[in-house]
Amino acid sequence: MRTVIRGGRVIDPASGRDEVADIAIANGRIQAVGDVPGDFDPDRVIDAGGQVVCPGLVDMHVHLREPGQEWKEDIESGSRAAAAGGVTSVACMANTQPVNDRRSVTEQIKSAAQRAGLSRVHPIGAITRDLAGETLSEMHELASAGCVAFSDDGRPVPDAGIMRRALEYAATFDYLLILHEEEGALSAGGAMNEGAHATRMGLAGIPNASEDVMIARDVILAELTGGRIHIAHVATAGGVELIRQAQAKGLRVTGEAAPHHLFLTDSDVGEFNSHAKMAPPLRGPADREAVRAAVADGTLSVIATDHAPHEADAKNEAFACCANGVTGLETLLGLTLRLADEDVMDLPTALARVTSGPAAVLGLEAGRLGVGEMADICLFDPEAQWAVEPERMYSRSTNTPFAGWELRGRVTHTLVGGRVVYPFGGEE
Amino acid sequence: MNAPASPAAPDALPRHFLGLEGVSAATINRILEEATRFRRLVEQPNKKADTLKGRTVINLFFESSTRTRTSFELAGKRLSADVININASASATQKGETWLDTVRTLEAMTPDALVIRHAESGTPHMAARALSSHCSVINAGDGTHEHPTQALLDILTIQHHKGPIEGLRVAIVGDAAHSRVARSQIHALHTMGAAEIRLVGPKTLIPARAEEALGVQVFHDADAGLEGADVIIMLRMQLERIRGAAVPSQREYFRLYGLDRRRVARAADDVLVMHPGPMNRGVEIASEVADGPYSVILPQVTNGLAIRMAVLKLLAGGESA
């Protein structure tokens, strides 16, 4: 299939391109950007007038729940949500059941993703077997099966000695470790951010220090070992500062922010709203501002959703007991655009954080619109307003704190390798 | 409290009684006036009224409690309601039913009030949101959040002995971090015009950013915190916190924060000493004070019954919205 996307505003943050242009696609790759060669005879023309054409989004922090918890989400439903959200590459965390700490699970994920055929799914292997924090997983075996990084996400690696060895071993092969930073003894029993709101609600709090001390520990260990680390879902001003200092020293430390930490604070817990419960918790306004500033200046080069689907019953427990996490794939683009609307950063920078930024951290061939690149592309109408309606989402779970929000920017087409995967049931 | 579900009479109470944060002085006064009438009733030989005849009150306790449950049970019975007590921690939930399903199942039996006690903060709020009938939810203590009837019985006790709350200096001593009563007391004391509310204790027992969150003054020095206080409310020290890391030992805690005769002398001459019970004698309070002339600990219990009668009458009796 030879495709031309005609007359859209092409924004490719990686190359700095931002102009009205055509894109020609053949054999799953981009053949031309700008002027389409006269002899290029397309089978299909997508009229992109008035739309933005950008690289397909890369979400490097997603829980697809398969294998093991398919009632929350499976690879097919998660891929569908990704396609509807303009996300063409998904990196999925290892906390499945069984844990993705063995080749068979990695292969199972990849083959289910291939069957769904809606997005590129990149498994992340566990750092330690069964996420227990005790024995290193077979990282080389997992990498050869297709894992693009390693993470015990959902849990920290509590033992500093194990963390040191994990970093040393990973550094041997230049593998990336993605770290969930939480000091268990400091967050034990906590249900939300420690602060005035938790005190009024009578909920045990989790101090910022729970994140910060672990980020500090792991930055120090990265320096000791020469390891490459990426700090997941950074939520505190202190965490941002530690990452900034590490980068200034030349350490290989990157980080990401989740949309909920960019838009919400602990006061959004309101009257025990379980959709505002996540780990790390929503922090205070100063933290939100620090995380926003870090995304704007590139200290955090990635916005990643931490898409964590849960069925209604898992959220329908007392606040302190209910499951952590929110869905995110279908609101990622709208919320990212809102950062530009709120003048936190310009539109190309915002798009970089969900395209070339995460692709660079993971070393993926994705997130770019250059000639010869894979034709993973998102088209969206930047003016279209839409309301977040959980019942209309494609994810199997609807635990979003953004229900009812009015967002601007609606995905019209998602292409993976030149194939239109959204709208569903399109031409192919 | 929740917003009324339907147009209400001008002086009607909200449908649910979930906490005292944001509750108006008018509402509190209405409950206190009703309780004052019931207090006279419970002191008479014939203690029973027909107020709730034909109404049903279910005490649904997911966390064990002797005094609060007994107080609610007696309050309902004195008003002639049909009162059912359910110790849910030992029944349905052990068969795998969720606590919210238990609430919904009981609602289907058409009670007029569900009195809920639960170890987790916010559960009565969730229950209230889940109900579809006009049954009222009354919070009998949720986690470390609120215990509104306990706080109102304290307000009633203070008023009874000292007159209006307005202008009083109140010191709350002990484990405020884990106390649902303290939060409710603080809200009610503010609403009723207390001049000063002080929290007294070591940093390990004072909730995070208490000044900002609750509008109190924090004292780590007990002598300074009690200076000139008109009312001292002692909080129960959970003994497991002493075995943990919050306080090194009972001995050290009593030395620093225990209420003995010497410390009482720092307060106002006519100070009132209160304790929600059950007391740990020699840990937070000395017997000489607990049984001494300033103590109103037993009248608090009697007032608790009157407050619960008032709340049940106003909500289960159909006077709420």
| Amino acid (1-letter code) at residue B262 | R
Kindly report the number of other CB atoms within 10 A of residue A158's CB atom: 17
Q: Which has more pLDDT, B93 or B167?
A: B167
What pLDDT is stored for residue B14 in this prediction?
A: 86
Flag the least confident range among A212-216, A249-253, B60-64, B225-229. Answer: B60-64
**In what helix (H) or strand (E) does residue B58 lie, and over which residues does it extend?**
strand B56-61
CB within 8 Å: B21 and A271: no
What pLDDT is stored for residue B13 in this prediction?
A: 80
With a pLDDT cut of 70, the percent of chain B lying above it is 94
Strands in B210-307 per DSSP E: 217-219, 231-234, 272-274
Q: How big is chain A, counted in residues?
A: 428
Taking the alpha carbons at both ends of chain A, their separation in whole angstroms is 9
From chain A, pick out residues whose CB is under 8 angstroms from the CB of B197: none
Average pLDDT value for chain A: 97
Taking the alpha carbons at both ends of chain B, their separation in whole angstroms is 11
A341 touches chain B (CB under 8 A): no
What pLDDT is stored for residue A307 in this prediction?
A: 98
Kindly report the number of other CB atoms within 10 A of residue B49's CB atom: 16
B212 touches chain A (CB under 8 A): yes
Kindly report the number of other CB atoms within 10 A of residue B256's CB atom: 15
B270 touches chain A (CB under 8 A): no
Average pLDDT value for chain B: 92
What pLDDT is stored for residue B43 in this prediction?
A: 84
Q: Which residue of B has its CA nearest to A201?
A: B145
What pLDDT is stored for residue A426 in this prediction?
A: 66
Please report which confidence band the pLDDT of residue A428 belongs to, taking 50, 70 and 90 as the band edges.
Answer: very low
Kindly report the number of other CB atoms within 10 A of residue A6's CB atom: 18
User: Is residue B95 pLDDT above 90, yes or no?
Assistant: no
What pLDDT is stored for residue B12 in this prediction?
A: 67
Average pLDDT, integer, range A228-239: 98
Kindly report the number of other CB atoms within 10 A of residue A256's CB atom: 27
A204 touches chain B (CB under 8 A): yes
Residue B20: partners with Cβ closer than 8 Å, 6 or more residues away: B28, B146, B148, B151, B152, B184, B187, B188, B191
What pLDDT is stored for residue B6 in this prediction?
A: 45
Task: Give the tokens for residue A128.
Answer: 């330690």
Predicted ipTM of the assembly: 0.89
B149 touches chain A (CB under 8 A): no
Please report which confidence band the pLDDT of residue B167 belongs to, taking 50, 70 and 90 as the band edges.
Answer: very high
Global confidence as pTM: 0.93
Catalytic residue among A59, A287, A306, A376: A306
Instruction: Enumerate the H helices of B163-260 as residue ranges.
Output: 180-191, 210-214, 222-226, 239-243, 250-257
Helix/strand/coil for B161: helix
From chain A, pick out residues whose CB is under 8 angstroms from the CB of B210: 199
pLDDT digits (tens, 9 = 90+) for A260-294: 999 999 999 999 999 999 999 999 999 999 999 99
pLDDT digits (tens, 9 = 90+) for B249-298: 999 999 999 999 999 999 999 999 999 888 999 999 999 999 999 999 99
Average pLDDT, integer, range B41-63: 93
User: Is residue B3 pLDDT above 60, yes or no?
Assistant: no
Residue A193: partners with Cβ closer than 8 Å, 6 or more residues away: A205, A206, A208, A266, A281, A282, A283, A284
Task: Indicate the annotated binding residues of B for carbamoyl phosphate.
Answer: 67-68, 117, 147, 150, 277-278
Task: Give the tokens for residue A92.
Answer: 């999925």
From chain A, pick out residues whose CB is under 8 angstroms from the CB of B123: 318
CB within 8 Å: B208 and A196: yes
* Residues A274, A326: Cα–Cα separation, whole Å: 10
pLDDT digits (tens, 9 = 90+) for B192-211: 999 999 999 999 999 999 99
Please report which confidence band the pLDDT of residue B42 belongs to, taking 50, 70 and 90 as the band edges.
Answer: confident
Residue B189: partners with Cβ closer than 8 Å, 6 or more residues away: B155, B165, B168, B170, B197
Q: How big is chain B, counted in residues?
A: 321
From chain A, pick out residues whose CB is under 8 angstroms from the CB of B21: 200
What pLDDT is stored for residue B7 in this prediction?
A: 47
Instruction: Measure B78 CA to nearest chain A CA, in Å.
Output: 32
Please report which confidence band the pLDDT of residue B4 belongs to, taking 50, 70 and 90 as the band edges.
Answer: very low
Catalytic residue at A306? Answer: yes
pLDDT digits (tens, 9 = 90+) for A87-101: 999 999 999 999 999
B99 touches chain A (CB under 8 A): yes
What pLDDT is stored for residue B5 in this prediction?
A: 43
- Which of A105, A91, A241 is CA-nearest to residue A153? A91
A71 touches chain B (CB under 8 A): no
CB within 8 Å: B121 and A313: no
User: Is residue B1 pLDDT above 70, yes or no?
Assistant: no
Q: Which residue of B has its CA nearest to A206?
A: B208
Q: Which residue in the set A194, A200, A317 is minimally distant from B21, CB to CB?
A: A200
Distance of CA A191 to the CA centre of its chain: 23
* Residues A138, A145: Cα–Cα separation, whole Å: 11
What pLDDT is stored for residue A427 in this prediction?
A: 53
CB within 8 Å: A321 and B120: yes
- Which of B65, B291, B27, B51 is CA-nearest to residue B155? B27
State yes or no: A180 annotated in a binding site.
Answer: yes
List A residues 165-194 in contact with B (Cβ-Cβ < 8 A).
Answer: 194
State yes or no: A251 annotated in a binding site.
Answer: no
User: Is residue B2 pLDDT above 50, yes or no?
Assistant: no
What pLDDT is stored for residue B317 in this prediction?
A: 87
Q: Which residue in the set A196, A201, A317 is minimally distant from B145, CB to CB?
A: A201
* Rounded to 5°, angle at Cα A358 from A354 and A359: 110
User: Is residue A306 pLDDT above 70, yes or no?
Assistant: yes
What pLDDT is stored for residue B91 in this prediction?
A: 63
With a pLDDT cut of 70, the percent of chain A lying above it is 99
Rg, chain B, Cα only: 19
List A residues 304-333 in contact with B (Cβ-Cβ < 8 A).
Answer: 313, 316-321
| Beta carbons of B231 and B198 less than 8 angstroms apart | no
Task: Give the tokens for residue B287.
Answer: 């017997």
CB within 8 Å: A202 and B143: yes
* Rounded to 5°, angle at Cα A333 from A330 and A335: 95
What pLDDT is stored for residue B64 in this prediction?
A: 86
